Amino acid sequence: MLIVADVHGEFDALGKLARTGESLLILGDLINYVDYRTMDGIAAEVLGKQFVRQVARFRAIGDYGGSRALWRENMAGRESEIRRQIGELVRHQYEEARRALDGGTSYVTYGNVDWPEALRACLPEGSTFVDGEVVEIEGFRVGFVGGGAPTPLGVAGEVSDEAMADKLDRLGPVDILCSHVPPAVAALSTDVITGRVEGSSVAILRYLGRHQPAFHYFGDIHQPQASRWRVGGTRCVNVGYFRATRRAIRHP
């Protein structure tokens, strides 16, 4: 099976993987809201690259209050129109994702920038939306938990610690755990570009300690301090920033 995360609009490369005939596991963040390398994405199309550069500066220092204030300032008096434009662009990108995945076999969960219900609705026949459930794939019991770590921004794809713990409890023991967010291990959740610890999940770390799946695959951190780690008997693997690498991880 092939595993990717953080597609962020790289649908041509995703389509090539979908057409290989192998099972494809997609661990969230399909849409490209902001590419912090190029400042491209939905936010730039609607509000401009200068706005995105300012958002990026706030992100780099973890100033969520400044980011929220900037959004309010730029949306003032035209909130409905901006939300409409963003919604149209999100749906357009999900339609591209549908075309990329059409004809293949894939299992898809969501990340922090995704709109979960819109993602679920866009998937073609042969693609399965999975969250808080176990699927048998190629003889392995694979558990999926979608969503990003909570932040003060409160975006659609974020999941509270309590909700994540509930989803993990429903899984029980599995051979492979798949999530968008990493476990709460500093080296796995530190982005070397921002120099900060980004989102991670204490609930996932506890699950690994309790059930010890052989593998845990995840994404979310684009430039991690460490991409591989061991938690007890579990091999933890960040599968990479697919928009940049265009490569999948193959499960052994």
**Separation of alpha carbons 205 and 147, rounded Å:** 15
Note the pLDDT tens digit of each residue in 209-228.
Answer: 999 999 999 999 999 999 99
**Residue 89: pLDDT over 90:** yes
Percentage, residues of the chain above pLDDT 90: 81
**Residue 182: pLDDT over 90:** yes
Lowest mean pLDDT among 14-18, 60-64, 168-172: 60-64
Note the pLDDT tens digit of each residue in 55-71.
Answer: 888 887 888 888 888 88
Q: Which of 206, 112, 205, 110 is nearest to 151 (CA)?
A: 112
B/e letters for 99-137, b = 16+ CB within 10 Å, e = fewer, are ebbbebbbbbbbbbbbbbebbbebbeeebbbbbbebbeb
> What are the residue ranges spanned by the domains of the chain?
2-250
Strand partners, 217: 178, 237
User: HSE on the CB side for 20, CA within 13 Å?
Assistant: 15
**Residue 122: pLDDT over 90:** yes
Q: What is the mean pLDDT of residues 2-29?
A: 97
* pLDDT on residue 188: 98
Q: Which H or E run contains 101?
A: helix 79-101
**CATH for the stretch 2-250:** 3.60.21.10
Lowest mean pLDDT among 19-28, 37-46, 134-143, 206-215: 37-46
Average model confidence (pLDDT) across the chain: 95
Where residue 88 falls among pLDDT bands split at 50, 70, 90?
Answer: very high
pTM equals 0.94
Q: What is the mean pLDDT of residues 122-129?
A: 97
* pLDDT on residue 43: 92
Torsional sign, CA 110, 113, 118, 119:
negative
